Structure 1
Amino acid sequence: MIVSVALAAPPRPGVGLYRVRSDALKMEELLSTNDPVLVSFVESLLDEAGIDHFVADANMSILEGSIAVIPRRILIAREAIGAARRLLRDAGLGHELKPEADR
């Protein structure tokens, strides 16, 4: 299926798609792994708990040839990192978390 989208006018810097909120850049790495099943499980836990997250490097498999060389990183908003860490510890995944000293 092909979907086409027509824009009335291209976005300008500082407007629309180009605008970056300063709080959008304040994220911390929760964990890093090559295990796609773990990433999926952690995403489902975070979704269920209502914790916003972003999986960085998820599409790198296209470039690496799907051999899992580049780990996927799960990033959490700085203000929610404590709740996310507790959630993963409670789920028995504390050993997967990025060490506190590395933050």
Structure 2
Amino acid sequence: MEEIVRTNDPVLISYIEALLKEAGVVHFVLDTHMSVLEGSLGMIQRRILVDSDQSGLARMRLREAGLGKELREQ
């Protein structure tokens, strides 16, 4: 798995998940339930990981959607 996005924005996460699902990209959101430990302050960012074989496709879809600035370095 390869991390492609790290953010605190729940709306952005939902949008990215919808884009990846539509493209058939296997993905996983980590740290979703960390608010229990941190007290809902939003300090711990959620990470979106994709299957390494589909990283190129995932990055392309996010760039096409205007989210290129959200992508983590490879």
TM-score tier (shorter): over 0.9
Counterparts of 1:5-44 in structure 2, within 5 Å, are 27-44=1-18
- TM-score normalized by structure 2? 0.95
Q: Which of the numbers 56, 59, 65 marks the counterpart of 1:82? A: 56
Cα deviation, residue 59, structure 1: 0.7
Q: What is the TM-score normalised by the length of structure 1?
A: 0.70
Distance 2:50 2:65 in 1: 17
Task: Pick the structure with greater CA Rg.
Answer: 1
Count of aligned residue pairs for this structure pair = 74
How far is the alpha carbon of 1:61 from its aligned partner? 1.0
Unpaired segments of 5 or more residues in structure 2? none
Q: Partner of 2:39 in structure 1? A: 65
Aligned to 2:69: 95
> In the TM superposition, what is the alpha-carbon distance from 1:29 to its structure 2 partner?
0.2
Please, what is the CA RMSD of the aligned residues? 0.7
Instruction: Supply the distance in 1 between the matched residues of 2:12 and 2:21 (Cα, whole angstroms).
Output: 14
4+ residue segments displaced more than 3 Å: none
Instruction: Give the distance between the partners of 2:46 and 2:22, measured in 1 at CA.
Output: 20
